[in-house]
Structure 1
Amino acid sequence: MKIETFYTQGESTLNYDPSVPCIIVNNVGFATSEEFRALLNKGLEFLIEKQKIHGKIGWLSNLVQADAYSEDDMKWVATDFDARAYEAGVRHVSFVLAEDAYAFANFSAETYQKYSQEEIGEKIVIRNFKDEASAKAWLREVLSRQ
């Protein structure tokens, strides 16, 4: 099955992989708070459409080429976006992080995961991976057991 790009913002893209199934957010470079939030909200809209087809769907955020995001944005994701994603059926999120442990986006992912744990606990299970293939394999496995 072919991966479909359904939204582009600068160099960042929102993709859909029906073979998993999952929404893939490829974050590239810097994004303002407004751009970052718009990208995630657009992804959630599309996820809701595709969830009607599959009944269950995963979320994959590829941060390998991303810059850092603000702490306020990470709080927003954990306190606002996560609740809406959970309501829409998201139970599993995979992150693809840069191998460089000091990559700025990796710190943003850690910050988000800390806030998310405080807000929703294990309602949404989050795992980190070094490549997209591993992240998709995990999502396929956990979605097949739901």
Structure 2
Amino acid sequence: MTETEIFAESYGRVWVDETVPGVVIQWLAFANRTEFIALQETALRYIEDHATPARPWGMVADVRRMGAIPTEAQLWLVHEFNPRAYAAGLREVSVVPANNVFGQLATQRYMRESEQEAEAPLHTVLYPTMEEAYAGARSALQAAGR
């Protein structure tokens, strides 16, 4: 078995996929600030515990059903999540974009603000399908020397 679920709630799931290797986040519905941070924090802690800059892990995010991101959670992503993920070796997040305008705007804002972080520039790459996002995550890790 290559997948191990580490978080499951009505609004989202997180699992580890050894074939990437990486963490996969899947948004199932809108999440309030606390729920949003709890899901992202679970994925981040796993990466921090299992990755290093020399042996990075990937991240795939399925945000097709994600809604708007509360402002406080958006700020947490850029100013807390990104630096910690970068310190653990994550350089790129492979994303399957949202189907609704609220999720699309949230993703665009995150991408714009993440790219502007000089000390921890976490890149977001959009893919049309999960299969392509997985392949993109694997390619990013290969390019990083994993």
Runs (4+) of structure 1 exceeding 4 A deviation are none
Structure 1 residues 24, 120: CA separation in 2 closer, same or farther (over 3 Å shift)?
farther
Percent of pairs with identical residues: 23
Q: Distance in 2 between matches of 1:18 and 1:2?
A: 5
Match of 1:118 among 102, 109, 116: 116
Is the 1:95–1:126 Cα contact (8 Å) retained in structure 2? yes
Q: 1:71: how far off?
A: 3.0
Q: After the TM superposition, which residues 27-66 of structure 1 pair with which residues of structure 2 at under 5 Å, given as runs?
A: 27-51=27-51, 55-66=55-66
Choose 88-97 or 112-121, whichever is displaced more.
Answer: 112-121
Identify the residue that residue 68 of structure 1 maps to in structure 2. 68
Deviations 1:87-125 (A, max 9, x none): 111111111113x4x532111100111111222477322
Identify the residue that residue 12 of structure 2 maps to in structure 1. 12
Q: 1:30: how far off?
A: 1.3
Is the 1:62–1:96 Cα contact (8 Å) retained in structure 2? yes
Q: Secondary structure at the match of 2:61?
A: strand
TM-score by length of 1: 0.88
Q: Secondary structure at the match of 1:66?
A: coil
Unaligned stretches of 5+ residues in structure 2: none
Q: Which has the higher strand share?
A: 1
Q: Which has the higher helix share?
A: 1
TM-score by length of 2: 0.88
Alignment coverage as a number of residue pairs:
143
Is 1:23 aligned to residue 14 of structure 2? no
Unaligned stretches of 5+ residues in structure 1: none
